[in-house]
Chains A and B, each alone.
Chain A
Amino acid sequence: MSAELSAVVERDEAVLRILIEDMFSDYVHSIDDDRVEAWPEYFIDNGFYQVISQEGYEAGHAIGVMHCDGKGMMQDRVKAMRQANIFEPHRYTHVIERPRLHRTSSDTFSARTNFIVTRTMQNGDMETFASGKYLDSLDVSGKTPKFRRRIVVLDSRRIDILLVFPL
């Protein structure tokens, strides 16, 4: 690769990093700000989302705590939590670290990002609800990056009370 071309690629990666980081922030803010309808839109149409414990992930288990194979299942989850599911009102705040990115092809990245999520109940009870890492595969071919796959690996195999909003 010529020095000139590799400079272009590098700049390109710097821009993509910004776009990816912005997308990661938008993703958690849409959940934290009760705009969960936006959540499936961060995925490509046949995108995959899973919440699984570290233990289950390491064991190669198919089943974790949530499993959406395609955007449709994510939309069904959103509809269910809005219209069908009963739970005590609560909100999350996600704190995410700077993602560690690896370019896997001209159109794709893989990423690992650690996170912590607090959960605040309507009566004021506030606790660390989840911690772990996002293991992502990203599609950067379009205007904004999208998840091909987001695996939420939880440090703990134990969920406090229930998990209704995505992480």
Chain B
Amino acid sequence: MTETAATPSNGSFRWPEGGVTRVPYRLYTDPDIYAQEQEKIFRGPIWSLLCLEIDIPNPGDFKTTFVGEIPVVVTRGENGDVNAMVNRCAHKGALVCLKERGNRENLTCVYHSWSYTLDGRLNGVAFRNGIKGKGGMPKDFDPKKHRMEPLRVEVYCGMVLGTFSAETRPAAAYFGTVMDHHLQRNLSRPLKLLGSHSQMMKHNWKLYAENVRDSYHATLLHTFYTTFKVNRLDMDGGIALSDDGRHSISYAKRATLQESEEYAAANVHSAQYDSQLAAPEMLETWPEFEDGITHSIQALFPTLAVQLTLNSLAVRYFVPRGIDRTELFWLYLGYEDDDEEKTRMRTNQANLTGAGGLVSLEDGCINEFVERGTRGSSDDAAEFLEMGGLDVAPSEGSRATETAIRGFWKGYREIMGFET
């Protein structure tokens, strides 16, 4: 087993000079900061993906998940409404739903059989009046005062989003016009789940939040894609940002690919790979949209991403499993009306991403290398993030930039109150 990376917190935290271009390593290891994040971010004004709408099609369907470390259950009520509650019994705190998914008429805790309606209201307490007149709850016990803690829910683009905060703006406004438009583009048709798995990564959750916004590394670390001319910095593309900078889209257009001298000159690792695929059908693709964008990875604050790379449509979300563990979930999707050919192409292309992704498998270990590399660093040691400028601004025509990462940290600092 790998030893834990947590180090004892060392007094109060102050962000160093340099704003979002300097990110202290301490943010990945300080247990106080981790605890604050659970409160300020995961119980704060953000949306988390709870499940897909297609996970709970019928009344009584439930799916369990997490928001930060908090266990959550999502249900479809008798009336078709979607509900979400902390998956915690109001009696002594046991998990109410144990299984990952299922269908129930009401939710009954196994410990002492308290039972709840599908929207989390307490509707039954075992032996409430005691047995043979002995025991039972006090006379003033009021079931209405006890319930599973609810979350606010919004069904948006096929996703069930949840938040603990009353401040969180409706999803379309939270993500902003640019993000909303692209999400609608990719997800506004009936979806079909083609497969899913997860990956346990050995680092703090924010390193993956950075990584998924790190358009600078995409073609340097991931050399498979580059070599097959699928996604290179020299393709026409860029970074779009929401107005608040928290959400981003890294996109590319394949049609305008040109050989770039910078690649040849830099003699980067990516140039070493022989570009002949023995099975080119793996990248067989059809144009799904007329805007010319063939690749997009959309990072949505704080822990969600939607990709449509070629025809590989996937939703990823990641869950902190302690200060130095992150579980990344991959949900591979198609559209309900896809024919067999389309499903076949999406299936072949799924080889590019995920835990065994020919393109992306490095992301399973690279952030752990950062976690391990930064151990024992001094309190003021920090990342240096000046690629593509010092600001948080969209980048047209270039993805050799860290602007989307700076955007994440801008949002993070605002919510955490680390703006000094």
Contact = CB atoms under 8 A, between A and B. Distances in A.
B351 A84 contact: no
Nearest to A123: B2
Given A87-B365, A88-B365, A161-B365, A66 B200 contact: no
Interface residues of A, number: 38
Given A85-B358, A164-B361, A158 B200 contact: yes
A73 B194 contact: no
A56 B197 CA distance: 8
Contacts of B369: 88
B347 A75 contact: no
Given A83-B274, A159-B364, 17 more contacts: A51-B356, A56-B196, A63-B195, A70-B281, A71-B278, A73-B279, A76-B278, A77-B358, A83-B223, A84-B227, A85-B361, A86-B365, A88-B369, A125-B1, A161-B364, A162-B362, A163-B355
Nearest to A163: B356
B20 interface: no
B3 to A, nearest CB: 10
Interface of A: 51-53, 56, 61-73, 75-77, 79-80, 83-88, 125, 127, 157-164
Contact of A159 (B274, B282, B356): B356
Contact of A73 (B332, B346, B351): B351
A63 B200 CA distance: 19
B278 A162 contact: no
A69 B354 CA distance: 17
A73 B282 contact: yes
A85 B224 contact: yes
A64 B197 contact: yes
Interface string B180-216: 0000000000000111111111100000000000000
B293 interface: no
Interface in B328-378: 332, 343, 346-348, 350-351, 354-356, 358, 361-362, 364-366, 368-369
B111 interface: no
